[in-house]
Amino acid sequence: MTERNSGSDSNSSSEEEPTYSLSAELDKLSLKEIHELFLYQCRNGQLEKIKLLLTHCKDKYVEINLSQKGESKSNLGWTPLHLASYFGHKSVVEFLLDQGVDINAVNDAGDTALHKAAFVGREDIVCLLISKNANINIVNGEGRTPRDVCKHNDEARKLLAAAEKTEGLQKEQKLLNAARANDLDSINSLLKEDMPPNINCVDVQGNTALHCAAYRGHKEAAILLLQNGINTSIKNSRGQSALDLAKDEHTKQVLSVQPVKSLQKTVPRFEGRIFRKSKFIGWKSHWAVIEKGVLEYFKNKSDARFGL
């Protein structure tokens, strides 16, 4: 797969089109050949032919996987969305997303469609994918996010940076709201994400999540935040610490023992998603855990949690 192509819809890949006629020959094609034709059409921005192909498959009750990875040299390991995004075919990208394809699917190198659009500086497609809630924090097999690989278009890079900032602020607001509501599941889920919010974030009054839990008497939320290392010494815009805002004795007792240092005497556990390269199947996603100096790989986060 060529790693750089600055052409747009009018300058598609020069790969020679299959010699068979779409309308006359579709019935003769195997399912594998139909998938390869679909990938070819997405690579070259042939939206009308794509629609005809899918209509034909629907009429003939042929199920076609719109996220099927290619097997030929020109598209190996890439989904239709990767191809359309990389080669700059915005109309095809929009169509595929409307059909419900997985916007965060990765190719054999761990890249999402957003990685590929960012790599070649497709500003319009980067903007489109972000607007459709593409995950901007997924790292590829080299440990790089879409913004990391965006080297050829400053505007696209700014879009990605702004999206990262916006997502970070949204997560921080969710954490503050969860603390106010004593929503332990949400707090725990947010803090265990691959890219968690800043646990010491503050609202417009300068209150941290610990302040929010304290002045509402949510002892359980306060304990959970303390267990995750929140800073108890932060003061809000009125100079008040979380302890100053605590209204009941139980919450005051919890905040008075200064648990940040005592709770972090245990050996920390580090975990996150990485991609490992296999000789036979290429890059594959794993959940890695480092605990007590031991590195272990699991199929997913759930397996890691239960040690499977």
Would the pLDDT of 266 be above 50? no
How many Å apart are CA 172 and CA 13, to the nearest integer? Answer: 43
Q: Tally Cβ neighbours within 10 Å of residue 184.
A: 15
pTM for the model: 0.68
Would the pLDDT of 2 be above 70? no
CATH number of 9-152: 1.25.40.20
236: CB partners within 8 A, 6+ apart = 202, 205, 206, 207, 208, 211
List the chain domain ranges: 9-152, 164-263, 269-306
Give domain 164-263's CATH architecture. Alpha Horseshoe (1.25)
Angle at 132 between CA 126 and CA 5, to 5 degrees: 25
- 61 in helix, strand or coil? coil
136-182 confidence digits (pLDDT tens): 999 998 889 999 999 999 999 999 999 999 999 999 999 999 999 99
How many Å apart are CA 143 and CA 184, to the nearest integer? Answer: 31
Identical topology for domains 9-152 and 164-263: yes
178-233 confidence digits (pLDDT tens): 999 999 999 999 999 888 999 999 999 999 999 999 999 999 999 999 989 999 99
Sheet of 294-298, strands arranged across = 269-278, 282-291, 294-298
